[in-house]
Chains A and B, each alone.
Chain A
Amino acid sequence: KQEVTQIPAALSVPEGENLVLNCSFTDSAIYNLQWFRQDPGKGLTSLLLIQSSQREQTSGRLNASLDKSSGRSTLYIAASQPGDSATYLCAVLYTGANSKLTFGKGITLSVRP
């Protein structure tokens, strides 16, 4: 079964800390992997998309990596700020998935001032 797992479900860190959010997937046959941010009661904001041929993508303080052989992706957030508090969702587009993203359950991040 093609699944996406994000552990832990919640994380609390002090402001300024560099942190890593993990995502694991069960099948290496993927088109791409996408990281989203969701604020409470809001829609999803696309942060980074990594194609299957890529190893990492960067945007500002965010860096996402992809290791298909181990079925893992990480989202690195540098110098965290209280405004980074949100739920971070990892989603994988598996080959043959007909445009259907497989989402993890998300990691709820709280950055303490």
Chain B
Amino acid sequence: DTEVTQTPKHLVMGMTNKKSLKCEQHMGHRAMYWYKQKAKKPPELMFVYSYEKLSINESVPSRFSPECPNSSLLNLHLHALQPEDSALYLCASSKASRRRRSTDTQYFGPGTRLTVL
């Protein structure tokens, strides 16, 4: 099973709402990632979790708050977003090593299409 699942598929929210994106994998991967992708652009890394600990934050605004409650789940909590945050949010996972950064294949989920009004 090389599947990464993401819910919801689509999300429309106002600038004052609080919502969460969810990502799940059952491949035993211990590295999980959040990416943001704007139309006709490549994905941009936001966060990396390794063994359930945040290892990389690419200077993402605090209105995006990641959480990794266990080795299979990754959440992205959203609050007070701006219209320019509308994008496709992709989750990915890969094998990880405690001794070095993950260099293995990243498997991506189908994404959540987020629209901020």
Contacts from A to B (Cβ < 8 Å) = 31-32, 34, 36, 41-46, 49, 89, 91, 93, 97-101, 103-106
Contacts and interface: CB of A to CB of B under 8 A. Distances in A.
Given A98-B56, A99-B56, A106-B42, A44 B105 contact: no
24 contacts: A31-B103, A32-B103, A34-B106, A41-B88, A42-B110, A43-B6, A43-B90, A43-B109, A44-B90, A46-B106, A46-B107, A49-B105, A98-B101, A99-B31, A99-B33, A99-B50, A99-B55, A99-B101, A99-B103, A100-B45, A100-B48, A101-B45, A104-B42, A105-B41
A24 to B, nearest CB: 15
Interface string B7-40: 0000000000000000000000001010000000
B: contact size bracket: 20 to 34
Interface of B: 4, 6, 31, 33, 41-43, 45, 48, 50, 55-56, 58, 88, 90, 92, 94, 101-111, 113
A46 to B, nearest CB: 5
B48 to A, nearest CB: 5
B117 to A, nearest CB: 19
A30 to B, nearest CB: 10
Contact of A44 (B43, B55, B58, B113): B43
Nearest to A42: B110
Interface of A: prevailing SS: strand
Contact of A93 (B55, B92, B103, B113): B103
B111 A98 contact: no
Contacts of B105: 34, 46, 49
Nearest to B41: A105
